[in-house]
Amino acid sequence: MVITIKNTQESSVGVVETKYFEFSDFESESGERIDNVILAYETYGELNEEKSNAILILHALSGDAHAAGIHEGQNDPGWWDSMIGPGKAFDTNKYFLICSNVLGGCKGSTGPSSINPKTGVPYALDFPLITINDMVNAQRHLIDHLGINRLLAVAGGSMGGMQALAWLIRYPDRIRSAIPIATAARHSPQQIAFNEVGRRAIISDPEWKSGNYYDALPPARGLSVARMIGHITYMSDASMSEKFGRQRKGASQSHKFTADFEVEGYLRYRGDSFVNRFDANSYLYISKSMDNFDASEGKPLQDVLQGIKAKVLVIAFKSDWLYPAYQSKEILKACKASGVEATYCEVDSNYGHDAFLLEVEEEAHLIGHFLGRIFYEYEVAENYAI
Amino acid sequence: MVITIKNTQESSVGVVETKYFEFSDFESESGERIDNVILAYETYGELNEEKSNAILILHALSGDAHAAGIHEGQNDPGWWDSMIGPGKAFDTNKYFLICSNVLGGCKGSTGPSSINPKTGVPYALDFPLITINDMVNAQRHLIDHLGINRLLAVAGGSMGGMQALAWLIRYPDRIRSAIPIATAARHSPQQIAFNEVGRRAIISDPEWKSGNYYDALPPARGLSVARMIGHITYMSDASMSEKFGRQRKGASQSHKFTADFEVEGYLRYRGDSFVNRFDANSYLYISKSMDNFDASEGKPLQDVLQGIKAKVLVIAFKSDWLYPAYQSKEILKACKASGVEATYCEVDSNYGHDAFLLEVEEEAHLIGHFLGRIFYEYEVAENYAI
């Protein structure tokens, strides 16, 4: 079995469209109800007749349903376009890919910025405090709707990896494999701390108004600061040194504390541009769902993995200090201890946490081969069964 | 030569008082003038007749002149009380210790919150953009005033270590030794980035008002966020896990995003309490002076160390990821390459950057022995000279 992985932009899925799936009466883990849920999603490739080639792609904190290809009239490829397409790791010639924006998001799915049908105004903080399990539960409704009984794989990095773990533990019989990347079974206090200071920046912004800003200006400055903090943690000391060094910008300065180092200008730009594409309340809800996530809910992780037949590929990146490799190794160890078939790979990369989006070559090989094996084993099993 | 180091609170320097040294017409590196400079300082121990036992202690970003002992009627010991006192690393039975609040600070020394004699109102952003060299230059005026020709040592951690390096390079003949601890010859882009996001939080606070907030409320929320970010970087993943784990507070919550993990409550408390003791503009000025600092000003560090006779003790801490050990090793390497006598020690500690304040035992031994040797060598040299 020879698998060739292409990473080039040439092998694109082309022009894609976001679709919307609607269902009613969702009950969150906290017991609160959402009358009507919309999930924005995209699909790439074709679902085969046996519906055995479907893979669910799971996005990170600020991601969305647009994982690959381009939208009509726009140039920006989806956030994991380097990994999804004909001949790529998630090979659209073989597999049917699905990516949905999470519940609680702001990119087409129902979240705090959506209109609450009971009041006719956005939910804001009346939106239930959703969990990673709620996100996964909503995705399961979408998978049901698409008529897929069993996914070939669920795969994602960072918060996407948490969702992959939640799928593995909550719906083990609905998946053949899970690929949690650059993630953790639960946040350490340092990870909570970085999220909390971002939330605090948003909440401290007078424009936040306890979340009721939708008829006025958003808390842009607070959200920008939150995103700046995020960006520092997504990169590594080494990747920042390579990218920026101590270079200064030549631009004129409006006051003594205008950004003058390149790295300062970059962070400010990334912070400010984030404000145009993300909702501050969604940032609060989603980051909190990550902090509250505990794959095994206080129990040892190996206890909740007992008896699971789905196979696991755990990937970590050496320079990722936000989700350090030891957290991925803990997942591997729990799989091994509970008899779940699991493979672990630590990819050498300078990119830090961003590596799961940028250090594509080795990641693509690992995932391409893993999926090829899972799919092959499934087909063999089916043929024996006939 | 046997040196016994005591760390106990019992061996305190006792009740101390902050003193103030005033001098006029200070010119900053940028060429701007400050008509009148006040430096707040404290001293512990006795200056000997030869004035050969004086050590200058240099504080970090948010430090002050109160390094040891207690102030009348108060209980809080100085910020390095565990290191300074009778029988301690900086042994007040043998040495005369001086610690001054930096120029640009807000703890008694002249800074942006001081009254500008030209206008009768606080300088705010009319205060010159001071440098680490400016801080050291102002300290030199104080040392002149105290009649000390040559300091036995200059010592400090973090920004204090930068000042120690600046003393070493700018005034090598005024010191016998330098002890830069948990520091860097220049900030990496990651270090700049963390400072910048703190500054941005302050500047984004509407109460900041381009620095002109002294007749109204300070930018408390922004400064609190800046301090929260700082605290995360001062601790380590391991020390946070040990201290907080995923413990939650039992307290009632005012809204969905009130702190509920212990670590969140701790950071908010530390952020909010910082506001009562620190000036936001000083935070901007001092953090910027750190980012702008480059011990060798673009040249290789070893080039500017050539011919320096002062001896150097470089200390780093294993879990310090804000000032990683490789930065201290660069200082050591440059010393070696230029023929400066230097010793390096990497102390095993889980405390992260805070270790220079907390991991006292090994640090105290290293410094106590180093100072003992320097002082002994000096005395021997003097005796031979007689």
Taking only the tens place, the pLDDT of each residue in B102-135 is 999 999 999 999 999 999 999 999 999 999 999 9
Q: Which of residues 323-382 of A touch B (CB under 8 A)?
A: 324
Q: Which of A353-367, B151-165, B253-267 has the lowest mean pLDDT?
A: B253-267
- Give per-residue pLDDT as tens, B243-281: 999 999 876 566 788 878 999 999 999 999 999 999 999
pLDDT of residue B2: 47
User: Residue B58: what residue type?
Assistant: L
Q: How far apart are CA B228 and CA B268, in angstroms?
A: 7
Q: What is the DSSP letter of A337?
A: H
Helix axes A159-170, A280-292, angle to 10 degrees: 50
Query: Residue with structure tokens 């300290």?
Result: B139
| Band of residue A10 on the pLDDT scale cut at 50, 70, 90 | low
Measured CA distances, A221 to A206, A271, B325 (Å): 10, 9, 34
The Cα–Cα gap between B359 and B345 comes to 13
Query: pLDDT of A314-325, one tens digit each?
Result: 999 999 999 999
Across chain B, mean pLDDT equals 95
CATH fold group of domain A191-288: Rna Polymerase Sigma Factor; Chain: A (1.10.1740)
DSSP line for B38-58: EEEEEEES---TTS--EEEEE
- What is the CATH architecture assignment of B15-186+294-385? 3-Layer(aba) Sandwich (3.40)
Structure confidence at residue A303 (pLDDT): 98
Whether A124 has its CB under 8 Å from any CB of chain B: the answer is no
Chain A residues 35-54 with a CB less than 8 Å from chain B: none
Has residue B194 got a pLDDT over 50? yes
pLDDT tier at A1 (50, 70, 90 boundaries)? very low
Q: Which of residues 266-305 of A touch B (CB under 8 A)?
A: 267-268, 271, 284, 288, 291, 294
Output the pTM of the full model. Answer: 0.95
B210 vs A: CB within 8 A: yes
Contact state of A125 with B255 under an 8 Å Cβ cutoff: yes
Please tell me which of the candidates A197, A236, A261 has its beta carbon nearest to residue B232. A197
Cα distance from A80 to chain B (closest Cα, Å)?
26
Taking the CA atoms of A216, A222, A225 and A227 in sequence, report the sign of the dihedral they define: negative
Give the bridge partners for A346, in sequence order: A316
Write down the CATH superfamily of domain A15-186+295-385.
Answer: Alpha/Beta hydrolase fold, catalytic domain (3.40.50.1820)
B219-229 burial, b for 16+ CB within 10 Å, e for fewer? Answer: bbbbbbbbbbb
> Chain A interface, mutation test: which of B257, B274, B297, B320, most A Cβ atoms within 10 Å?
B257
Q: What distance in Å separates the CA atoms of residue B356 and residue A381, rounded to the nearest whole number? A: 61
Give the chain A residue nearest B198 (alpha carbons): A225
Cβ contacts (< 8 Å) between A243 and chain B: which residues? 189
Tokens of B19: 């003193």
Residues of chain B with Cβ-Cβ distance to A263 below 8 Å are 189, 192-193, 196
Q: Which residue, B185, B5, B157, is CA-closest to B80?
A: B157
Share of chain A above pLDDT 70, in %: 95
Q: How far apart are CA B127 and CA B169, in angstroms?
A: 26
Opening angle at CA B265, ends B264 and B270, nearest 5 = 100
Q: How confident is the model at residue B54 (pLDDT cuts 50, 70, 90)?
A: very high
User: Does B192-287 carry CATH code 3.40.50.970?
Assistant: no
Query: Which pLDDT score is estimated for B5?
Result: 52
In this predicted structure, what is the pLDDT of residue B380?
Answer: 80
Asked whether residue A246 carries a pLDDT value surpassing 90, the answer given is: yes
pLDDT beyond 80 at A116: yes
Q: What is the pLDDT of residue A256?
A: 85
| Spatial distance between the Cα atoms of B80 and B98, rounded to a whole number of angstroms | 12
Which amino acid would we find at residue A68? A
Give the residue numbers of A marked as catalytic.
158, 320, 353
pLDDT at A132: 98
Contact B189 A321 (CB under 8 A): no
Which residues, other chains included, contact A218 with Cβ-Cβ below 8 Å and sequence gap of 6+? Answer: A207, A275, A279, A280
Share above pLDDT 90 across residues of chain A, in percent, rounded to a whole number = 91
Question: pLDDT exceeding 90 applies to what percent of chain B?
Answer: 91
How high is the pLDDT of residue A155?
98
Put simply, the answer to whether A205 touches B201 (Cβ < 8 Å) is no
Packing angle between helix B189-204 and helix A262-275, nearest 10 degrees? 50
**Distance between CA A157 and CA A155 in Å, rounded?**
7
* Cross-chain residue pair B241–A197, CB shorter than 8 Å: no
Whether A65 shows a pLDDT value over 70: the answer reads yes
Q: Which of B59, B177, B353, B354 is catalytic?
A: B353
Contacts of A196 (CB under 8 A, 6+ apart): A291, B228, B259, B261, B263, B264, B267, B268
The alpha-carbon radius of gyration of chain A (Å, integer) is 21
pLDDT at position A346 over 70: yes
> B206: which chain A residues are within 8 Å (Cβ-Cβ)?
206
CB contact under 8 A, B210 and A255: yes
B chain contacts of residue A237, beta-carbon cutoff 8 Å: 188, 190, 324
Let me know if B344 is exposed, middle or buried by CB neighbors in 10 A (0-12, 13-18, 19+).
Answer: middle
The shortest C-alpha distance from B176 to chain A (Å) reads: 32
pLDDT mean over A280-303: 97
Instruction: Say if the Cβ atoms of B204 and A186 lie within 8 Å.
Output: no
Q: Indicate whether A378 pLDDT > 90.
A: no
Residue A316 CA neighbour count, 13 Å, CB half: 21
Q: Is A12 helix (H, G, I), strand (E, B) or coil?
A: coil
ipTM over 0.90: yes
| DSSP per-residue string spanning B283-301 | HHHHHHHHHH-BTTTTS-H
- CA B150, chain centre distance (Å): 20
What are the extents of the domains in chain B? 15-186+294-385, 192-287
- Using only the alpha carbons of chain B, give its radius of gyration: 21
Provide, as residue numbers in chain A, all residues whose Cβ is less than 8 Å from the Cβ of B323. Answer: none
Nearest to A264 among B196, B240, B259 (CB): B196
pLDDT value at residue A340 = 98
Residue positions counted in chain B: 386
